[in-house]
Amino acid sequence: MRYRSLLLKFLSAFIVFGAWEIAGRIPVSFAFPTFIESMAAFWALLANGTMFVAYAETLKPLVVGVLISAFLGIGIGLGIGLSRKFDWLVSPIFIVMQTAPLAALIPLLVMVYGIGLTSKVFVVCIMAMPVIVLNTSGAVRNTPASMIEMGQAFLGTKLDVILKIILPAASPIIFAGLRLGVSAGFIGAILSELKITPTGVGDIITYSRSIADYPSMYAAIMSIIVLAVIFLNVLERLEDYLFKGSRQTYVSE
């Protein structure tokens, strides 16, 4: 089963990259290089150290923003799920954050916090935190009432019910929300570099586009996608390890 899953993932990648190569050879556009050209540019960026320097900049707001979003997001989500009043007070904020056009908010962040690290961290948090908060609150609210009543029947305190019943029951969905939040955080990190100051991977994309070096531009875009996929796969493996008993199977299995 494990090897079949891995084989299907490689097959999926082969189909995507094969279609990319064909589209580049047709060509779809003069600004659309082939996959082989983009890979050659990617290895060149690695060889001269440009990619490593870029990621040293890109990962700063990404890591800080994701960590803040994870800790605050899960904490706030628990509060929303456990308290109706807190839900009424706080939920609208994160619903608005999730639906608001981020590109329109970035100039406001720049006016308030400047063009440094703080603004970029805020962009990552605005992208990542609503997903984590809303998934966490939904998971807590959907804890089976019978399990909570059982804990109360055995004279468990409110803290016991939260720590020993609600959190374990909600953890798989919370973790799934965390994966979605991390994915959104990657988008926010690159968007901040494109819209605030061209640093890191965003600088490679902007500069390569300005000089019509499209293979390098696509190489930079592909690199952030690959990094996000690797990171999300690591989180998925961790989720499988932590929540083996709660993992659902497919109908065909």
Summarised one tens digit per residue, pLDDT across range 80-94 is 888 888 888 888 888
Task: Write down the pLDDT at residue 250.
Answer: 44
pTM for this entry: 0.79
Show the domains of the chain with their CATH numbers.
Answer: 36-244 (1.10.3720.10)
CB atoms inside a 10 Å sphere around CB 88: 10
Task: Write down the pLDDT at residue 244.
Answer: 66
pLDDT at residue 251 tops 80: no
Asked if residue 130 lies in contact with residue 112, where contact means CB atoms within 8 angstroms, the answer is no
Summarised one tens digit per residue, pLDDT across range 218-240 is 998 888 888 888 888 888 777 77
Average pLDDT of the chain, as a whole number: 82
Summarised one tens digit per residue, pLDDT across range 131-168 is 888 888 888 888 777 777 777 777 677 777 777 787 88
The stretch 47-55 carries a mean pLDDT of: 88
